[in-house]
Copies of this chain bind each other. A is one copy, B any other.
Amino acid sequence: MKQLKIIKIGGGIIDDATSLAQFLQLFARVEGPKILVHGGGKGASEMLRALGIAPQLVNGRRITDAATLEIVTMFYAGKTNKAIVADLQRNRVNALGISGVDGNLIRAVKRPVREINYGFVGDLKPSGVNAALLEDFLGLGLTPVICAITHDGQGQLLNTNADTIAATVAIALSKQFAVELHYCFEKNGVLLDVNDDNSVIGTINLASYAELKEAGIIAEGMIPKLDNSFDALSQGVSKVIIGHALKIGDSLKTVLCLN
C-alpha cells in the first residue's frame, strides 16, 4: 500500500514567521506523498479587533458570525495559505493551496444549535471528503495545503477545526494509502509534566489514554486532539504521531496506537 503523510500545524508555529519558515524547510524534506493541513493562528483575532469586531471564543472554539467568517476566510484561505504555498514553492515543493470548498474537497454540515450557537462552524464526516480528488492531486505530484475552511454545498462557507480536518482527511484516505497522521505543535509530544518539555510519553494506547485522563495528566486542549487521533486510528489510519513542529523525524515524540 502506498504511504501518505498528513501533517497538521497549528497556530503557535504559524504566528511566528521564523518558526514557520523553519518548519516549511523541514516539511519540504519529508519524503513521499504528503498533505499539509494548517490552522489559523492569532492573526485573524488581531485583524478582527483592528476592524472593531470582538473575537468570541468558547472553550477555545471560535464563535463564527457572518462578519467573523469573512475575516477568518480571508485570513486562513488568503494570507496564511498563500504565504505557506509561496514559501513551499521556494523550497521546491509543488504545493497547491486549497480550502474545503475547492473541488468540493470537504463538505461539512453547519453545527446544530444546542446550548451554544457556534455560528458558521462546520462538523465533518469522512464521507464528506473528496478522497478521489486528493488522490488525483497527489498523482499529479502536487502537495495539497489545506486550510480550515469547508462548505455545505449550498453556497455557505464554514469555519472548521483544523485538527478535525486533518483526522477526517486521514480517515478518508486510509482506504487508498497507509496514512501517517502527524499533529505538530510547540511541545515535544504529550507530556507527563506540562512544565518539563522532556517528559514526553513515548507511546499511548487506548487503555493508557483512559488512565492518563483519569489521573488528570492529559487535560484540556489535548483531549480533543487525542480523541481525534484515536478516532482516526480506529477508522483505519495506520499511525498517529504528536510532536514538535521543528523536530519532524526526531525520535522525541508521542506515538499513538490502539493496543
Q: Which of A's residues lie within 8 Å of B, judged by CB?
A: 47, 50-51, 70, 73-79, 81-83, 85-87, 89-90, 94-99, 101-104, 133, 136, 140, 142, 149, 151, 153-157
Query: Can you list 27 A-B pairs with a CB-CB distance of less than 8 A?
Result: A70-B79, A73-B78, A73-B82, A74-B78, A74-B79, A75-B78, A76-B78, A77-B77, A82-B99, A82-B101, A82-B157, A83-B157, A85-B102, A86-B151, A86-B155, A86-B157, A87-B155, A89-B104, A90-B153, A90-B154, A90-B155, A95-B103, A97-B98, A97-B99, A97-B102, A103-B140, A136-B140
Q: Are B101 and A149 in contact (CB under 8 A)?
A: no
Closest CB in chain B relative to A249 CB, distance in Å: 23
Identical copies of this chain, number = 2
With most chain B CB atoms within 10 A of its CB, the pick from A73, A82, A96, A157 is A82
Q: Are A101 and B79 in contact (CB under 8 A)?
A: no
Closest CB in chain B relative to A133 CB, distance in Å: 7
Q: Are B142 and A103 in contact (CB under 8 A)?
A: yes
Residues of B within 8 A of A79 (CB): 70, 73-74, 78
Q: Given A51-B51, A78-B78, A157-B82, does the pair A97, B89 have CB atoms closer than 8 Å? A: no
Closest CB in chain B relative to A154 CB, distance in Å: 6
Q: Are A89 and B155 in contact (CB under 8 A)?
A: yes
Closest CB in chain B relative to A140 CB, distance in Å: 6
Residues of B within 8 A of A75 (CB): 74, 78
- 10 closest A-B pairs by beta carbon, nearest first, are A78-B78, A74-B78, A90-B155, A74-B74, A77-B78, A96-B103, A74-B79, A96-B102, A97-B102, A86-B101
Residues of B within 8 A of A140 (CB): 103, 133, 136
Residues of B within 8 A of A89 (CB): 101, 104, 151, 153, 155
Closest CB in chain B relative to A185 CB, distance in Å: 24
Q: A86-B155, A89-B104, A98-B102 are known contacts; what are 11 more A-B pairs with Cβ within 8 Å?
A: A47-B51, A50-B51, A77-B81, A78-B81, A82-B101, A89-B151, A94-B103, A94-B104, A97-B99, A98-B98, A103-B142
Closest CB in chain B relative to A97 CB, distance in Å: 5
Residues of B within 8 A of A157 (CB): 82-83, 86
Closest CB in chain B relative to A255 CB, distance in Å: 33
Give Cα A47 to B76, complex, Å. 17
Closest CB in chain B relative to A251 CB, distance in Å: 31
Closest CB in chain B relative to A136 CB, distance in Å: 6
